[in-house]
Amino acid sequence: MDTIAFADDGGPDIGVRIIINARELVELAREAELPYATREGHPDIAGAYGYFGPMFVFSPARHFYGEPAHDWTDGNGRIYVLSCSCGIPECWALSARVVLSDTEVIWADFRQTHRGPLSVSGQWRYDSLGPFIFDRRAYDKELAKTPAVRTPRPPQRTRNTRLAEVFNLGFRRGANDRAAAGIVLGSERTAEPAIPPAPMECGDEMEREAWLGGYRAGHTCGASDAELEGVEIPGANGLITGFDQKFLERFGFLQGVPDHALR
């Protein structure tokens, strides 16, 4: 029988780690995905996941009992077991089927939500990942843990912090300009948007490039201010407001990282 642990170290930047048979689930996913991601030319997207926070893991939450929080599911009996590294689960999630009995919990049929049979990039298969069979009593005990106390830690500002801020300024402008032009969010487009000049405070070429990249991304997938009105949790409604520094670094939008498009 397999073992599972939900490890909460209280770090402000890390969710509750999932450890199966003494290995992190993110590592196991990365091994399964690497051949497919390499075939696409972007090996760095293999295992590009984050974990969920304690409020979605430990009791009284029921997400990991197969009762998805929000709409974090891609089918009956299925849940997202790993979130996108950007913090928005729907962006790039790993899902699995959770089957409960009085004595066992089974995780099976893992899927990358954007690499299914109909994906233009080709299907990713997870034959080497699971199924995992856990003892129900041990599983219940793990999910009954008390979350660790979290101490907020002020982020350290770097050059990329400023570039991320400029990127998101451009992102918001692009999202609002797209809405003002009457273009529906998520619609097919072929023409490049007319990108306005970067603000005067963008003092060098790198900041101007961050503005351009942010504007294009916002015009493509960003939710406008009007679309965000009255929405309490944008991510739970599939709305993107911008991207944090770690996401932008990972996917090549900031200093020192090769550029490639969003997935």
Which secondary-structure segment (H or E) carries 32? helix 25-39
- Can you tell me the distance from the alpha carbon of 145 to that of 13, in angstroms, rounded to the nearest whole number? 20
Contact 144, 47 (CB under 8 A): no
- Asked if residue 255 belongs to a domain, the reply is no
- Asked if residue 261 belongs to a domain, the reply is no
pLDDT at 237: 74
- Residue 43: pLDDT above 70? yes
Q: pLDDT band at residue 12, thresholds of 50, 70 and 90?
A: low
| Domain co-membership, 137 together with 19 | yes
- Asked if residue 124 belongs to a domain, the reply is yes
| Domain co-membership, 40 together with 12 | yes
What would the pLDDT profile of 65-90 be if each residue is shown by its tens digit? 999 998 899 988 899 999 988 778 88
- Asked if residue 260 belongs to a domain, the reply is no
- Can you tell me the distance from the alpha carbon of 112 to that of 120, in angstroms, rounded to the nearest whole number? 13
Q: pLDDT band at residue 189, thresholds of 50, 70 and 90?
A: confident
| Domain co-membership, 9 together with 98 | yes
| Domain co-membership, 17 together with 139 | yes
Mean pLDDT lowest among 77-86, 135-144, 177-186, 248-257: 248-257
pLDDT at 107: 98
Q: How many domains does the chain have?
A: 2
Q: pLDDT band at residue 6, thresholds of 50, 70 and 90?
A: very high
Where b means 16+ CB within 10 Å and e means fewer, 147-167 reads eeeeeeeeeeeeebebbbbbb
pLDDT at 261: 34
Q: pLDDT band at residue 181, thresholds of 50, 70 and 90?
A: very high
pLDDT at 88: 80
Q: pLDDT band at residue 18, thresholds of 50, 70 and 90?
A: very high
What are the structure tokens assigned to 63, written together?
Answer: 């997400």
| Domain co-membership, 23 together with 138 | yes
pLDDT at 121: 87
- Asked if residue 258 belongs to a domain, the reply is no
Domain limit, last residue, from 143, 177, 209: 143
pLDDT at 13: 62
What is the model's pTM? Answer: 0.63
User: Mean pLDDT of all residues in the chain?
Assistant: 89
- Residue 257: pLDDT above 60? no
pLDDT at 11: 65
| Domain co-membership, 232 together with 121 | no
Q: What is the arithmetic mean of pLDDT over 17-35?
A: 96
What would the pLDDT profile of 110-169 be if each residue is shown by its tens digit? 999 999 888 888 999 999 998 999 999 999 999 999 988 877 667 788 889 999 999 999
| Domain co-membership, 12 together with 136 | yes
- Residue 255: pLDDT above 80? no
| Domain co-membership, 126 together with 223 | no
Q: What percent of the chain has pLDDT over 70?
A: 94
Contact 166, 211 (CB under 8 A): yes
| Domain co-membership, 66 together with 187 | no
- Residue 263: pLDDT above 70? no
- Asked if residue 89 belongs to a domain, the reply is yes
What would the pLDDT profile of 203-221 be if each residue is shown by its tens digit? 899 999 999 999 999 999 9
Domain extent for 127:
4-143
| Domain co-membership, 137 together with 174 | no
pLDDT at 3: 98
- Asked if residue 62 belongs to a domain, the reply is yes
- Can you tell me the distance from the alpha carbon of 146 to that of 137, in angstroms, rounded to the nearest whole number? 17
| Domain co-membership, 139 together with 165 | no
| Domain co-membership, 86 together with 25 | yes
- Asked if residue 152 belongs to a domain, the reply is no
